[in-house]
Amino acid sequence: MKNGDRLYLRYAFNDLTKNKGINAALIVILILSAFLMATGSMVIERMAGAVGGLFEQAKPPHFLQMHKGEYDTAALEAFAAEHDEIDSWLVTEMLGYESNALSWERPETGESGDLSQNRFDNLFVTQNDEFDFLVDGEGNIPEPGPGEVWIPVKYQQSLGLQPGDVLTVATDSGPFSLDVVGVVKDAQMASSANSATRVLISDQDFETLRGDSSNLPEIIVEYLLADAGGADALQAAYEADDALPKEGPAITAAQIQVINTLSDGLSAMALIFISLLLIVIALLNLRFVIKGTLEDEVREIGAMKAIGIPNRAISGLYLSKYSVMTFVACVIGGLLAIFATMFLTQNLQANYAAAPIGLWTFLVPLISLAVVFLIVVGICRNVLGAVKKIEVVNALVHGSTLTEKQTARRARRQAWWVRRTTLASSSGGDINTRLAFLDLRAEAGQWLLVPVVFFLTAVLITIPVNLLTTFESPKFVEYLGLPERDLAVAVQYQDDVDELRHEVLGALEGDERLRDLELFASVQYRTEGPEGTVGVPVQIGDYSGDTIEFMQGAAPQAGQIALSALLATELEKGVGDTITLDQDGTASDVEISAIYQDITAGGKTAKMSGEVPDGATAYTFYANAADGQDPEQVADALAEQFPRTAVYPLAEYQKQSFAGTTTAFRSASWISLIFGLGVAVLVTSLFLKLRLTRDRSKMGVLTAIGFSGAEIISQIRLKVLVTVVLGVLLGVVFAATGGEGFAAVLLNMMALTISDLSFIPNPWLVYALFPLLLLGAGYVGVVLLTAGIRTADKSQWLRG
């Protein structure tokens, strides 16, 4: 090691041990920043590895089309023969059962229950032969025997089912019982955001259940491609072929992967977001501390410059301290991140595969920590560039870091402030309050750190909880392209769908438990987009009332259509444009009247106004529960009354569909709140520590002219509280306005197709409790730092 390097390290060590309080506060903030950045990046890497591992084991399709109803096998064979890019294809048959038709029993303990509260579609399937396998915990491909069933992970996690239990299906011919022998992972339907789940049974048991008329059969047409990148092109070709089955959603492998990584991905993104804000806070504090250090040690710097020490060497002396501090923080933060990542990813292996340990497992956290280190050191180096501007004479004679021109400007500015802020010109009011406000106005630039940091902290703790309350609000169904109603009853994809629709309509219209009944029909159209034919699932009905919220435009009238935001983007169309819809060779031009949010069916849907037609592929009834009626109880009764329909209490459906997402936001909310309050206390303490040291002479003058220690303390506390209140108020306002755009960008990055997000906040939390907690944190910091003023030796203050 060179002598210069040893000198730098010795200075860094001496300074770190000399200013323990200030350096401890700084290093804690840096540790938190490094810890969260490394944890977020490691969670993303582990999650990608786990999902990728499951994809390798299960081999999900690159493109799939779900379908309910009859289909032409010959058309599927012809389509596959025409497309050489298809490496393999298959049709997965599924038998769907409503949750109230399923029950379970645990023979060992006598416990039992049913699945009536489960809002997922239960699809019984057999094991595939070529790809899209359901795999066990070790990645093996199980083959259940007669009377055996492998349940999905969702059953184990949400319902507590386990091997050894007995799962019973209520069929037309009586109960059909299956022994639970294991748990399978499903690459297609692992996420809670997927409204269906597959249950694995033997070929023999499948044939038995096929004879039961109470189930709803459906299929998945699946394609494995030689090049996964051709999935979008294959989808366009598939949708352009009228002979192919397409009464259901179409999904690509990329969409499957995004859905699977949604909840854990949002957790990781939230950690990185919190980390970035903490890094900004750390940099603001570092800048403040460095400038304060240069001002305090300006005479020493002037002396070093006077004897010929280069500016670069002087800057390096100070930079060594912050480099060492940042390096130590990154090491500690990285070590803590290892344990945090192990905790946060412990459920990944249950849902997906064991993430392999590879080169990127080590590189990802190291790169993230290196980024933190380089950003912090780079900013420190930039601030220390002020060393070369320090003039030797001003430094040694006046103890100032300013040049002569800057000194003259400051003198004129201070003279102006003196003329404007003289106490003689003030009338009335408490003298301590007036002194505090005059001091804040005269030294506003030096106090700017506190409101800026509390502004960032308010944003940090408010945005995650606003996202949480938005996703949990009943009004969030507007982002699902649904009206805000209590219940939905879906009559889907059946041979006698119109007959069943009329039967259900007659019963619901006379049901006193319901009000505000509405009916919509689902019709499949096609249109031409910039990249080829695009399927357009249209819901037709009356949109004149309080149905859904439109981002742009107005509800569609006759000859008009409203498009979801993602579909409008794909078609490159806006309000006022015209598109051509085609159905069975009949084309019609319609005008786009509105754009709305929708994250269902891949986010690509449309709404048209008109009479509900016959011959639709599906029908959906929406209604509110009458006063005094429990929507979930009404839904259970309707599901039992109409076993061939799907009945959803929309609040519970929303809750189960976004369980993973809301869990992610809840975790992020707690983390940001705890860390934000801790940082607020640290920053207030750090700032005051430096201010009190620098203002000793001023406080000494106040003491000499008769101000007591209690009065000086009250002035300091008032100044802190005023700056804290200003920062918190600005932060809450920004989080409620500009924060919506930032959150929408974050959700779009995670493929939640919400382009125009409006928060649905809990006002008691974000406008009352959180601001009070931040004010309390700031007040705790000022109380801790001013507690010793009463007993301090004030005679020393006038000596500086």
pLDDT of residue 285: 82
**DSSP H or E segment with residue 730:** helix 709-736
Burial call 140-157: b when 16+ CB within 10 Å, e when fewer: eebebeeebbbbbbbbbe
Calpha distance 768→161 (Å, rounded) = 42
Residue 619 one-letter amino acid: Y
pLDDT of residue 403: 57
Nearest to 165 by CA among 185, 145, 180, 144: 180
pLDDT of residue 562: 92
Task: Output helix, strand, coil percentages for the chain, rounded to the nearest 5.
Answer: 55, 20, 25
Nearest to 288 by CA among 13, 10, 29, 36: 29
DSSP β-bridge partners for residue 175: 170
3-class state of residue 197 by DSSP: strand
User: Which whole-number Å values give the CA distances from 111 to 106, 160, 164, in the listed order?
Assistant: 5, 11, 12
User: Largest Cα–Cα distance in the chain?
Assistant: 102
Note whether 366 and 27 are within 8 A (CB). no
**Residue 319 in tokens:** 């930079």
Nearest to 600 by CA among 68, 98, 196: 196
Calpha distance 544→299 (Å, rounded) = 76
Calpha distance 244→216 (Å, rounded) = 20
| DSSP H helical ranges for 443-592 | 444-447, 449-472, 497-509, 565-571
Report the Cα–Cα distance between both ends of the chain, in Å, rounded: 39
Tell me the chain's radius of gyration from C-alpha atoms: 33
Note whether 574 and 522 are within 8 A (CB). no
Given a cut of 50, the residues of the chain with pLDDT beneath it are 1, 424-428
- Mean of the per-residue pLDDT values for the chain? 82
Nearest to 525 by CA among 600, 579, 483: 579
Note whether 326 and 286 are within 8 A (CB). no
Burial of 301 (0-12, 13-18, 19+ CB in 10 A): buried
DSSP β-bridge partners for residue 624: 515
Kindly report, residue by residue over 337-364, the tens digit of the pLDDT. Answer: 999 888 878 777 777 877 888 888 899 9
pLDDT of residue 428: 47
Q: Which residue has the tokens 């499951």?
A: 54
Calpha distance 218→377 (Å, rounded) = 60
Domain segments of the chain as ranges: 1-59+254-390, 90-225, 431-476+658-800, 495-643
Beta pairing class for 514-529 and 532-541: antiparallel
pLDDT of residue 730: 93
Kindly report, residue by residue over 497-553, the tens digit of the pLDDT. Answer: 888 889 999 999 988 999 989 999 988 888 888 877 787 889 999 888 777 888 888
